[in-house]
Amino acid sequence: MKFIKTLVFTCFSVSSVGAQKAADQRKFDSIYFATAVTVAAEDINKATRIADSLYRHSKPEIFRLKALMLSSSLFQQKGDIKKSVQYAVKADSIAVSQQFYDWEARIAGFLSTQYRIMGLYEEGEEYLEKGKNVSNKIENEQMKKLYLGMIYQETAYYEIEYEKYKKAYKAAKTADNYFKQLTYSEQDRDYFLATNEQLLGQICTELKKWDEAYDHYTKAQEKLTKVTQENAMLSGFIYSGLGRVYLEKNDLKAAFENLQKAEKIVEKSDYLELKIEVYKTLADYYQLSKDFAKYSEYNDKYVESLELSEKKKKESITDFVKTTKSEGKVLAYNKNVLLIVSIALCVLVVLIIIWHRRSRKRDRERFREVMNRMKQAQLDREQEKLQPEVSEKKDPNRKIMSDAIEAKILKDLKDFESGNKYTDKQISLSMLAGMLNTNTKYLSHVLNTYLNKDFNTYINELRIKYIIEKIEQNEKFKNYKLSVLAEECGFSSHSKFSAVFKSVTGLSPSTFLAYMEESRGTN
């Protein structure tokens, strides 16, 4: 869940109002809540039209602000970050002018989420800090506790992005304590606790604590059924999470039942994040069930949703920067300050251009070197097919096996390299030794003596060479997220993949892909 998925449910007033105002607020809140929870899950475009109507026909500024944030939430669910941010910025201008400190703080949290979604973590955490500072101006204690709960939820999501799951768990439990103190609305309390239980389930899944994850997902669904219908968007994440837990427990029947419920919600929704999660889990289910036709179908849906999400993010980045960093901030400076800043920026830009050109030159040389090495390796492999193998680097003093065994292991290693079994995440020295009908001592000796590599270096270099060839041969691979590329070649995480890729090639994966695209354009 993102920050905004809880943000849209905080429209209920905790202050005393007149009878007519209270009636108007109840009517607004009823439409608002139904639109955010039920209509959005069934027809997100209809929900968007209702949110726009709420904005146009509402007079109180607080209603107009809430309608704008509802629209912002809906566009975020559709993956349109540009419009999502535009509506949030417009709502923020109302919050600032009317001194709605609670909403000013929450909108800062929302913008923090948007930066996080695009991987701009440093900027996102700045907005999160701004939200904390503004919250100190909130006088209503209930609203302050609500917002602090949401802040810690968002903090947990940042820790998940950093793969620091224990810290994420601690932050989510802190959020849980704040939500339990909400007394102004039982409905709000149950909904926020439901979102937090789902978050805890997600974290426990990453920690492979399957029983605890199951308990959290179950509690999330129990809380959610008290406040909304079964087909709410949050239910899709809960059912998908339960499906993943049952898969790990090898209970395929229960996994399928939950994944079917999640898919029904997905079919009515344009929420890309939910589609990505559900289709990935369904693909894993069919792979485990050995239904490879269905696996291929849902894996294609997963990749298609992932590619669409990435495309929309890329399209939104430029406009995002313009709408969030330019609007409202440039006007805050006077002409003299702008002049000074402009001069400083010009100097900085010149320095950056000089540095960038030198850096790109070095990177291009590294890229050409990597590609030349791969071409030479291919030529060497083809040459080896025509010539008998010649043993090298034999050291009589270190001889621990016969020449025949050495030759057989070297030949078997070449056969192993011609396949792709090294992409198996479970591959180990003992496993490879078993595949080659030898022992780990002999295998390590051959790797160290003839290839000057230990086992991990040997496997990692094969994986990087494999994914580079994939990218070079199939253009769609360059559009995949790093996590997908990492999984494709056998790494357990995109951070591990990025570190190994840079150690092997001297370039980060994103820089390498950029030069790959550039080289294609010049051919």
Instruction: Find the mean pLDDT for residues 323-331.
Output: 45
The residue among 85 and 449 whose pLDDT is bigger is: 449
Q: Which of 167-171, 351-355, 413-417 has the lowest mean pLDDT?
A: 351-355
The residue among 354 and 442 whose pLDDT is bigger is: 442
Predicted local distance difference test score (pLDDT) of residue 318: 58
213 has a pLDDT exceeding 90 = yes
Q: Where are the alpha helices (DSSP H) in 268-389?
A: 272-288, 292-321, 335-386
Question: How would you label 113-125 residue by residue, b for 16+ Cβ within 10 Å and e otherwise?
Answer: bbbbbbebeebbb
Q: Over pLDDT 90: what percentage of the chain?
A: 28
Count of other CB atoms within 10 angstroms of residue 330: 10
Q: Which of 176-185, 273-282, 368-377 has the lowest mean pLDDT?
A: 368-377
Q: Over pLDDT 70: what percentage of the chain?
A: 78
Predicted local distance difference test score (pLDDT) of residue 346: 56
Instruction: Find the mean pLDDT for residues 272-288.
Output: 90
Predicted local distance difference test score (pLDDT) of residue 14: 39
Tokens of 504: 């092997």
With cut-offs at 50, 70 and 90, classify the pLDDT of residue 169.
very high
514 has a pLDDT exceeding 70 = yes
Question: Nearest Cα to 303, choosing from 514, 474, 477?
Answer: 477
Tokens of 394: 């034999």
Question: Nearest Cα to 258, choosing from 274, 275, 235?
Answer: 235
Predicted local distance difference test score (pLDDT) of residue 341: 52
Q: What share of the chain is helix, strand, coil (3-state, %, to 5)?
A: 80, 0, 20
With cut-offs at 50, 70 and 90, classify the pLDDT of residue 516.
confident
Question: Nearest Cα to 103, choosing from 152, 75, 140?
Answer: 140
**Rg, Å, the chain Cα set:** 28
387 has a pLDDT exceeding 50 = no
35 has a pLDDT exceeding 90 = no
Q: Which of 11-15, 59-63, 167-171 has the lowest mean pLDDT?
A: 11-15
The residue among 453 and 4 whose pLDDT is bigger is: 453
Question: CA of 345: how far to CAs of 120, 123, 183, 188, 366, in Å?
Answer: 21, 19, 50, 47, 30
With cut-offs at 50, 70 and 90, classify the pLDDT of residue 172.
very high
313 has a pLDDT exceeding 90 = no
8-state DSSP, 401: S
Residue 310 burial (10 A CB sphere; 0-12, 13-18, 19+): middle
189 has a pLDDT exceeding 60 = yes
Count of other CB atoms within 10 angstroms of residue 111: 27
CB 44 within 8 A of CB 56: no
Q: Where are the alpha helices (DSSP H) in 78-118?
A: 81-98, 101-117
Residue range 122-165, pLDDT digits in tens: 777 888 888 878 877 888 888 888 888 888 898 899 888 888 99
The residue among 125 and 384 whose pLDDT is bigger is: 125
Predicted local distance difference test score (pLDDT) of residue 431: 92
Predicted local distance difference test score (pLDDT) of residue 100: 87
How many DSSP H helices and E strands does the chain contain?
24, 0
Distance CA 506, CA 504 (A): 6
Distance CA 89, CA 107 (A): 8
In terms of average pLDDT, the best of 83-87, 209-213, 230-234, 351-355 is 209-213
Instruction: Find the mean pLDDT for residues 404-413.
Output: 91
Predicted local distance difference test score (pLDDT) of residue 383: 54
pLDDT mean across residues, the chain = 80
Predicted local distance difference test score (pLDDT) of residue 374: 66
Domains, the chain? 362-522 (1.10.10.60)
With cut-offs at 50, 70 and 90, classify the pLDDT of residue 454.
very high
Q: At what angle do helices 440-450 and 455-473 cross, to 10 degrees?
A: 70
Question: Nearest Cα to 508, choosing from 475, 476, 486?
Answer: 486
Helix (H, G, I), strand (E, B) or coil at 213: helix
* pTM recorded for the entire structure: 0.53
Residue range 18-32, pLDDT digits in tens: 566 677 778 888 888
CB 140 within 8 A of CB 15: yes
Distance CA 77, CA 26 (A): 26
CB 313 within 8 A of CB 276: no
Instruction: Find the mean pLDDT for residues 4-12.
Output: 47
Residue range 241-262, pLDDT digits in tens: 999 999 999 999 999 999 999 9
